[in-house]
Amino acid sequence: MSIAKRINLLVLAITAVAVAFVLLFSTQRQYLSDRDTLLESSASYLRSQPQLQYEIYAGNTDALKDSLQALLGLSRAAAFAAIYDVDGQNMTSMIRGPGIARPALGQLRRGASPVESTVGLADGGRLSDRMPLLSIILASDKGLHQTLPVFALINPGREGLSRSDFEQALMRPSQANSLHVVGFVQLSINRWTLLSEGLYELLPLFGACLIFVLLSTIVTRRITQSITSPLSRLHQLANDIADGRFASRVEASDGGEVKEIMFALDHILGDLDSYRSRISVDHRLLSLKVEERTEQLSRRNQELNRAVREVSHTRNELRKLAYFDALTSLPNRRLFSEQLALLIRLAKRNNQILGLMFLDLDNFKRINDSLGHRAGDLLLKEVASRLSSCVRESDVVAHYVDSDSRIDVSRLGGDEFTVVLNQLASEEAAGIVARRVIETLTQPMTIDGHELVVTPSIGIAIVPRDGSDVDEVLRCADTAMYHAKASGKNNYLYYTQDMEAAGLDRLRLEAELRKAIEREQLCLLYQPQVDTVTGSVIGAEALMRWEHPELGRVTPAQFIPLAEETGLISQLGEWALGAACQQLLDWDQAGHHLDKVSVNVSASQISEHFISETEALLARTGIAPERVQLEITEGLVMEDSASTIDALKRLRALGLRLSIDDFGTGYSSLSYLSHFPIDELKIDQSFIMDIGKSDNDNSLVIAIIAMARSMGIGVVAEGVESDVQYQFLSAQDTHVIQGFLFSEPLSATDFPRLLDPFHFMGQIQSMPRTLQAASTEVRQIGS
């Protein structure tokens, strides 16, 4: 409830109470005065009726009734009147309406003397002026009873008195010596009626009070309003501030404390306003900052996401690096070892056989060196994919290997691959798969525009027969592979105990080979190149051998690839070149003249160092450079590299002769040859071997010979073993022949006996005529 209302109510209550008091008081006074007036006027009425003595004495009821009538006419409140004789016997009575009790006279006058007037209540109680209103309201009977004695101046006890007797007594009251009570008059008043009669008198007062209350209410309202309106404005203001809307200025029109409060508020509001504008600036700045920060955060977040992606990518990459070969995506040695260990354990537990194929590409290093690493990598990838598809082709292996089992191809490094054949049906099954692998891999492949043929050598180890842990099994397969390579490449072999006896395990071989030069275990054999027109030896190829004290004679196939892989080849090659030159000079001195010697040079030997060493050698020995021929494998020559061409040109500029070895196995288009400074082609043995085989097409050999001749380059046929081959070559006008047909490679001691002029003439002439005829036929086909 607002203060104004409270004040209004309070003032109203106070006014009402005051007015009520005034009204009560007035009402009570009015009542008392009306009562007393009535009582007095009834008494004075009786005094004014002296004839009443006689009427009572005479029992004249009519007259008495008239008196009662007059008495009741004094007031509307007079409700009952009665007249009694001196003995208290009712003579007559008159009633105006019911409503009050009419007690007996004796009861009313109990305890009063006969001459006394009485005023009392029905129960005989005396009249009291204390709180008359309350007694009226509380009393059940509202009656007030007055009794008055009626006096006579003559003794009414006497009989026979007349009206005039009473009149004379009245007229001469001094002669009367006593007063006599002749009867009693009773007047009963209805107090309630008396009270209500009085209220009419008070009506103006009531009106005035009402007006007073109204006026005071209005005035109070005005006053409280004038007091509280600033307060309610303050209240409104407080509400507005609480709701966040407020005017910048507060008008302080009123005086007093409120004005001060307004001033203070105005001050506060001013502060608030500037605070608010400061806050809003701060808020804008803050939101700018927040925006900036949010942007930074989202950038950070993006960077973080990227970093997380990179990390997980890197982790995957690392895993791949750790377990997979980057080039071929095949499992690497580590994953291979872990898988193999697992498979070996499983195979043992389930009593199954497991095969491990160890595969190494023949002459890979040569290809890599000659065509470059890029081509080498492409080749390895092609090999990997062929290998994978080959061993996964169900028809290849399904019959031999449980189809549910895993056949995993891994790359151990370089050109070494492994294939694990799990749950083999039989030991022989591994060989079948190996043959299929060889067949698949030896299909020509086109690398960097060159058509290449790679051949693998495969070693097979069987678990549990050959070993029961990864290292052991792998070593066995490796040894078997090495033997396969040594026994002619493009081949597979199962591991056997004998291989260990041969001591061909690679690590040992490598260590031994390092010491071979200083221990003078290397030597050169010489194989003659025969001019079939004259039957004389016109040159010799120096072929290296390793005479090992325990291993016996180790062939180049067994140690040259190893030397190439380990880099030992440059030492071996330099030694061979030096030894061959020295041998030529030694033979010269011994009177055995050989025109020239051919020395094999590995692709990886060709270097700045090699050129300068060769130059130094020529200078040291003083040998005529044109008597020294370098045999370089086709792949190297074909490498389209300016530096290789430059190196070859520089070697040739030294006066040396250059020969291309194994021509036709590589990938060169013949027209390429014109770029190279070469003196001779050696047709590869594989073509020569094919000559004379029934279904063979010799057109390639014919083409090579024709082209070499057109370019003015010499041709040597190598690996000629049979008369048929010889006849065919002769028919093609190829007259320089190297091969077992004339001689195997011989030691330096044995070789000079071939140097007699026309040494092979007899052999040539003894060739069967029929073959001569056959060669003529071949010539006709060729042309």
Q: Rule CB under 5 A: which residues touch Ca ion? A: 600, 631, 661-662
Residues in Cβ contact with 185 at an 8 Å cutoff, skipping those fewer than 6 apart: 42, 46, 52, 67, 71, 81, 82, 83, 84, 147, 148, 150
Closer CB to ligand C2E, 499 or 688, in the complex? 688
Range 593-612, binding ligand C2E (CB under 6 A): 600, 602
Minimum CB–partner distance for residue 539 and ligand C2E (Å) = 13
Check residue 737 for interaction with ligand C2E (CB under 6 A): no
Check residue 369 for interaction with ligand C2E (CB under 6 A): no
Closer CB to Ca ion, 246 or 667, in the complex? 667
Minimum CB–partner distance for residue 598 and ligand C2E (Å) = 9
Answer for which of 369, 574, 661, 723 binds ligand C2E (CB under 6 A) is 661
Closer CB to Ca ion, 600 or 614, in the complex? 600
Amino acid at 706: A
Answer for which of 360, 415, 512, 662 binds ligand C2E (CB under 6 A) is 662
Sign of CA dihedral 720, 722, 723, 725: negative
Closer CB to Ca ion, 564 or 662, in the complex? 662
Nearest of 692, 691, 679, 685 to residue 739 by alpha carbon: 685
Which of these ranges, 247-255, 460-468, 469-477, 737-745, lies near ligand C2E under the rule CB under 6 A? 737-745
Minimum CB–partner distance for residue 529 and ligand C2E (Å) = 10
Which of ligand C2E, Ca ion, none is residue 719 near (CB under 5 to 8 Å by kind)?
ligand C2E
Minimum CB–partner distance for residue 682 and Ca ion (Å) = 5
Closer CB to Ca ion, 343 or 576, in the complex? 576
How many whole angstroms separate alpha carbon 420 and alpha carbon 186?
152
Say how many C-beta atoms besides its own lie within 10 A of residue 779's C-beta: 16
Sign of CA dihedral 487, 357, 382, 322: negative
Closer CB to ligand C2E, 186 or 457, in the complex? 457
Minimum CB–partner distance for residue 345 and ligand C2E (Å) = 42
Which of ligand C2E, Ca ion, none is residue 557 near (CB under 5 to 8 Å by kind)?
ligand C2E
Answer for which of 230, 573, 625, 664 binds ligand C2E (CB under 6 A) is 573
Residue 737 near residue 720 (C-beta atoms within 8 A): yes
Nearest of 383, 350, 716 to residue 540 by alpha carbon: 716
Q: What's the CA angle centered on 638, arms 329 and 610, to 5 degrees?
A: 95
Query: What 3-state DSSP class applies to 190?
Result: strand
How many whole angstroms separate alpha carbon 636 and alpha carbon 445?
18
- How many residues bind ligand C2E (CB under 6 A)? The answer is 21
Which of ligand C2E, Ca ion, none is residue 209 near (CB under 5 to 8 Å by kind)?
none
Distance (Å) of CA 243 to CA 13, 228, 230, 236, 555: 37, 22, 19, 10, 106
How many whole angstroms separate alpha carbon 630 and alpha carbon 606?
11
Check residue 739 for interaction with ligand C2E (CB under 6 A): yes
Check residue 527 for interaction with ligand C2E (CB under 6 A): yes
In the sheet that 118-121 helps form, which strands lie side by side, from edge to edge? 90-95, 78-85, 180-190, 143-152, 118-121
Query: What 3-state DSSP class applies to 409?
Result: strand
Check residue 721 for interaction with ligand C2E (CB under 6 A): yes
How many whole angstroms separate alpha carbon 724 and alpha carbon 110?
192
Which of ligand C2E, Ca ion, none is residue 46 near (CB under 5 to 8 Å by kind)?
none
Residue 752 near residue 586 (C-beta atoms within 8 A): no
How many whole angstroms separate alpha carbon 68 and alpha carbon 730?
197
Minimum CB–partner distance for residue 401 and Ca ion (Å) = 39
Check residue 576 for interaction with ligand C2E (CB under 6 A): yes
Answer for which of 25, 263, 275, 740 binds ligand C2E (CB under 6 A) is 740
Binding mask 10-39 for ligand C2E (x = CB under 6 A): ------------------------------
Minimum CB–partner distance for residue 721 and ligand C2E (Å) = 4
Give bridge partners of residue 181 from the DSSP assignment. 151
Closer CB to ligand C2E, 57 or 559, in the complex? 559
300: its two tokens:
């950070």
Give the helix/strand (H/E) hosting 258: helix 256-323
Minimum CB–partner distance for residue 533 and Ca ion (Å) = 23
**Which residue, judged by CB position, is nearest to ligand C2E in the bound state?**
556
Provide Rg for the chain, Cα atoms: 78
Range 246-265, binding ligand C2E (CB under 6 A): none
Check residue 719 for interaction with ligand C2E (CB under 6 A): yes
Q: What is the DSSP letter of 77?
A: T
Q: What is the DSSP letter of 126?
A: B
Which of Ca ion, ligand C2E, none is residue 532 near (CB under 5 to 8 Å by kind)?
none
Say how many C-beta atoms besides its own lie within 10 A of residue 632's C-beta: 25
C-alpha neighbours within 13 Å on the C-beta side of residue 771:
15
Which of ligand C2E, Ca ion, none is residue 573 near (CB under 5 to 8 Å by kind)?
ligand C2E
Residue 739 near residue 720 (C-beta atoms within 8 A): yes
Amino acid at 643: S
Instruction: Please report the DSSP string for 544-602 in residue order.
Output: EEEEETTTEEEPHHHHHHHHHHHTTHHHHHHHHHHHHHHHHHHHHHTT---S-EEEEE-
Residue 147 near residue 118 (C-beta atoms within 8 A): yes
Which of these ranges, 281-289, 408-416, 588-596, 714-722, lies near ligand C2E under the rule CB under 6 A? 714-722
The number of helices, as runs of H, and strands, as runs of E, in the chain is: 26, 22
Check residue 532 for interaction with ligand C2E (CB under 6 A): no
Minimum CB–partner distance for residue 635 and ligand C2E (Å) = 12
Closer CB to Ca ion, 390 or 597, in the complex? 597
Give the helix/strand (H/E) hosting 340: helix 333-349
Check residue 555 for interaction with ligand C2E (CB under 6 A): yes
172 by Cβ neighbours in 10 Å (0-12 / 13-18 / 19+) ranks as exposed
Check residue 544 for interaction with ligand C2E (CB under 6 A): yes
Check residue 372 for interaction with ligand C2E (CB under 6 A): no
Binding mask 148-187 for ligand C2E (x = CB under 6 A): ----------------------------------------
Closer CB to Ca ion, 209 or 601, in the complex? 601
Minimum CB–partner distance for residue 449 and ligand C2E (Å) = 25
Answer for which of 560, 660, 704, 764 binds ligand C2E (CB under 6 A) is 560
Minimum CB–partner distance for residue 684 and ligand C2E (Å) = 8
Give bridge partners of residue 424 from the DSSP assignment. 353, 401
Query: What 3-state DSSP class applies to 138?
Result: helix
Which of these ranges, 29-37, 127-135, 242-250, 719-727, lies near ligand C2E under the rule CB under 6 A? 719-727
Amino acid at 462: I
In the complex, the residues that contact ligand C2E under the rule CB under 6 A are 527, 543-544, 555-557, 560, 573, 576, 600, 602, 631, 661-662, 685, 719-721, 739-740, 745
